[in-house]
Structure 1
């Protein structure tokens, strides 16, 4: 999957926003059915019931559609991380919240073919790599902020580095886990949780 760096236009009017939502919803259906590689812009316009010219006004190419979906999934994931991690103030609560969060995230990867399709091409695509890296940085900051309550004497920069690495590896683990048979994938996720907590909760 080859993704360029073209940017979608941000709609201002309600009618335009609704049209963008229809386009993205249609794109999810088409990607779930056959993958983003075979999705065509004409097919997408027809599915979304919008003129092809309008489609290109909002999304200059297929890459922009895929990237917008990727960014939305990241935003949803970040909201889940904040909800689970920000309130914790001790190790036991952190461990429980983190494990529950990873289980939820893994479940999303298993249930959502669009997520699998988007992130399967990340390592081969620079634009999605940049999105992935930015997402790990923001998620790492959320986790590091919670860790500062648990390890107040730790160096904040070290906490952030550990948290960012763990969150980045978490996404990589999910990609690997869904690419193998389910039993092995489940075991990989459990291993990741143990390794991640060991690192995150290690004393400086």
Structure 2
């Protein structure tokens, strides 16, 4: 029996639920693996569903059962990479006990994020593309807010008498500046990129809580 083609949904692209059966999970992961290979080779803008079908040896119907369009695939890849980034941030912030260790944690996060994007050209391509894609901008904004809230929690612990609105503003600005530094550094060659991260780290204040 021929597989039924599931038409892409209109509006916001989302992946179907991860299949429960092993065969379905294997197909799901194969699609993502093939898409990542194609993005690494040609960039996310050039990604085509027809190429995924050919390289993954699937029918269009099988592909659409899991992803309605290429935006859903890119979104899923971005969210997976973001999960790894969140683990890094949470791990570093968990070590913070005072202003000095907070500054060191931010330096470590910048180093780890820079290395992460250098080692993952697929995510680097997607991250750079967020400026031109509204869907990816939403994912990026949500991820940034997660990091800001994580830092806000630490700032509240270090400065319990400070106003929450003030600390949240500091947390959001701090994480935005860190992300901007990493994004810019990754647009350069590796030597210049690492020098940029080092410069950003030297510019970090000794006490982030005292930014305002």
TM-score normalised according to structure 1 size = 0.88
- Contact 2:103-2:207 within 8 A present in 1 as well: no
- Contact 2:152-2:168 within 8 A present in 1 as well: yes
- Contact 2:15-2:66 within 8 A present in 1 as well: yes
Instruction: Say whether residues 1:202 and 2:210 are aligned partners.
Output: yes
* Residue of 174, 185, 188 corresponding to 2:182: 174
2:21 aligned partner = 14
Unaligned stretches of 5+ in structure 1?
none
2:73 aligned partner = 65
2:143 aligned partner = 135
Please give the residue correspondences for 1:49-198 in structure 2 after superposition, counting only pairs within 5 Å. 49-197=57-205
* Structure number with larger C-alpha Rg: 2
> Which whole-Å CA distance do the structure 2 matches of 1:199 and 1:64 have between them?
41
**Which structure 1 residue ranges, 4+ long, deviate > 6 Å from structure 2?**
none
1:9-51 superposed Cα distances (whole Å, 9 cap, x missing partner) = 1124133233211111111111111212222212212333333
With over 3 angstroms needed to count, the CA separation of the structure-2 counterparts of 1:44 and 1:160, relative to structure 1, is same
What SS does the corresponding residue of 1:152 show, helix, strand or coil? coil
Please give the residue correspondences for 1:29-44 in structure 2 after superposition, counting only pairs within 5 Å. 29-44=37-52
> Which whole-Å CA distance do the structure 2 matches of 1:98 and 1:25 have between them?
32
1:159-191 superposed Cα distances (whole Å, 9 cap, x missing partner) = 122112221232222221122233332232223
What SS does the corresponding residue of 2:210 show, helix, strand or coil? coil
- Contact 2:103-2:206 within 8 A present in 1 as well: no
TM-score normalised according to structure 2 size = 0.85
* Residue of 5, 11, 16 corresponding to 2:12: 5
Unaligned stretches of 5+ in structure 2?
1-10
With over 3 angstroms needed to count, the CA separation of the structure-2 counterparts of 1:26 and 1:143, relative to structure 1, is same
> Which whole-Å CA distance do the structure 1 matches of 2:39 and 2:91 have between them?
29
